Amino acid sequence: MLSPKNCPENTYSFPHIPHNVLLIKRIKSNNVTAISCVLSLWLTEQYDCKVFVEKEALGDFDAMGCHVNRPWQQEKIDLVISLGGDGTTLWASSLFDDRPVPPIMGVTLGSLSYINQFSADELLTTLAHLFESKQCNVQMRSRLFITIYGHEADALYYGHCVNECTIDRGPAANMANLDIYINNRFFTSMSADGLIIATPTGSTAYSMSAGGAVVHPGVSCILFTPICPHSLSMRPLVLPADVEIRIKVPDDARQSVWLSLDGHEKHEVLPGHHVVAAVSANPMPRKLNTNINIDICTDSYSPCRMQTRRSMAGEPYGQSSLGA
């Protein structure tokens, strides 16, 4: 068992050699599919694993004559291997809503790789060590548990996200009107393009672009980041991790708002409905690459640093055409 605390490094011990492996890959990518097929065959021949894939990826594997197991159950998966960019890993995490997430090993084969730490070249060596030792180093990344409630307090939708929950005005031209409650106490009303509720991991994603704080992934907190608020006093906040945030669309609101988790499909939230956000009891165990010696404080925000290049800045009082 692992501690549910956010971010600290843990050693995950498998009760047995991982047998059921879920491969999540970029869809419609021949290169990633070819690597996935090689990996699937290697896992089957070397360690007698059962390799499972999503039904959306079956056509890619069938086209290359690669046999994989089709139906899969959350509780039977021992290990997840994500082949793509960070979006692929975020999607892999979202597939485990009601149960603890198994360790996820992110392999860099996409356009953005901040969460993913492994290259394709070191994949087989790393997996061989994992299978032989029956353990791996993981970093616990907190997730948010999001629920949409209707008029009768009935749950209409729920899901998890690793980066952020976004509530915005969608296709409407008008601003979204939202009433905010924290731990069931009224906090504020806001008119804005929307609102981002983010994790520390998501603090360097959409929340940062909207002016939110960049937070170390080891800090237990929830980020509250308005999107273009129509108020001088409505600022981004960093809230304790044990709070529950409720966002209600007023009964007399002109329009619905739209909710998305980690940029996936949108869900409409009607006037009178509300959204509840809280830290999930099931974080995401991110498989760490122990061959990379990076200080975690630097690693937490290095992908989005704005570094000034002296060669481009020039000298303010140096030689110039004006002084020639």
Question: Where does the pLDDT of residue 67 fall: very low under 50, low under 70, confident under 90, or very high at 90 and above?
Answer: confident
Query: Are 116 and 187 found together in one domain?
Result: no
109 in the same domain as 152: no
Decide if pLDDT at 309 tops 90. no
Is residue 4 in some structural domain? no
**Domain's final residue, options 136, 155, 173:** 136
Residue 312 domain-assigned?
no
- Catalytic residue (choose from 86, 121, 262, 295): 86
Q: What is the pLDDT of residue 115?
A: 87
Task: Confirm whether 172 is domain-assigned.
Answer: yes
pLDDT digits (tens, 9 = 90+) for 7-58: 556 788 898 899 999 999 987 788 999 999 999 999 999 999 999 998 888 8
Q: Are residues 128 and 148 in the same domain?
A: no
Answer whether residue 115 is part of any domain: yes
180 and 226 in a common domain:
yes
- Residue 292 inside a domain? The answer is no
> Which pTM value belongs to this model?
0.86
Q: Which two tokens stand for residue 46?
A: 């070397």
Could you give the number of structural domains in the chain?
2
Do 173 and 254 lie in one domain? The reply is yes
Domain assignment present for 209: yes
Clarify whether residues 124 and 148 are in a common domain: no
Residue at which a domain ends, from 92, 116, 136 = 136
Do 73 and 174 fall within a single domain?
Answer: no
Tens of pLDDT, residues 156-174: 999 999 999 999 999 999 9
Residue 106 shares a structural domain with residue 229: no
Query: Active site includes 86?
Result: yes
Residue 2 lies in a domain: no
pLDDT tens profile 94-135: 999 878 999 999 999 877 778 888 999 999 999 999 999 999
Cross-sheet strand order for the sheet of 50-53: 9-13, 135-141, 284-287, 104-108, 79-84, 20-25, 50-53
pLDDT at residue number 49:
94
pLDDT tens digits, 77-99: 999 999 999 999 999 999 998 78
Q: What is the pLDDT of residue 291?
A: 65
Token pair 């356009």 is found at 111
pLDDT band at residue 65 under the 50/70/90 scheme: confident
**What is d(CA 22, CA 54) in angstroms, rounded to the nearest whole number?**
8
The token duo for 323 is: 């002084």
Note down the domain range covering 44: 14-136
pLDDT of 316 over the 50 cut: no
Lowest-pLDDT range of 136-145, 183-192, 290-299: 290-299
- Give the whole-angstrom CA distance, residue 142 versus residue 131: 26
Same domain as 180, residue 129: no
Pick from 136, 156, 180: which residue ends a domain?
136
Q: How far apart are CA 129 and CA 139, in angstroms?
A: 18
Pair 111, 187 in one domain = no
Over residues 261-307, the pLDDT tens digits come to 999 889 999 999 999 999 999 999 998 876 655 444 555 445 444 44
Q: Is 162 contained in some domain? A: yes
**Both 123 and 215 in a single domain?**
no
23 and 65 belong to one structural domain: yes
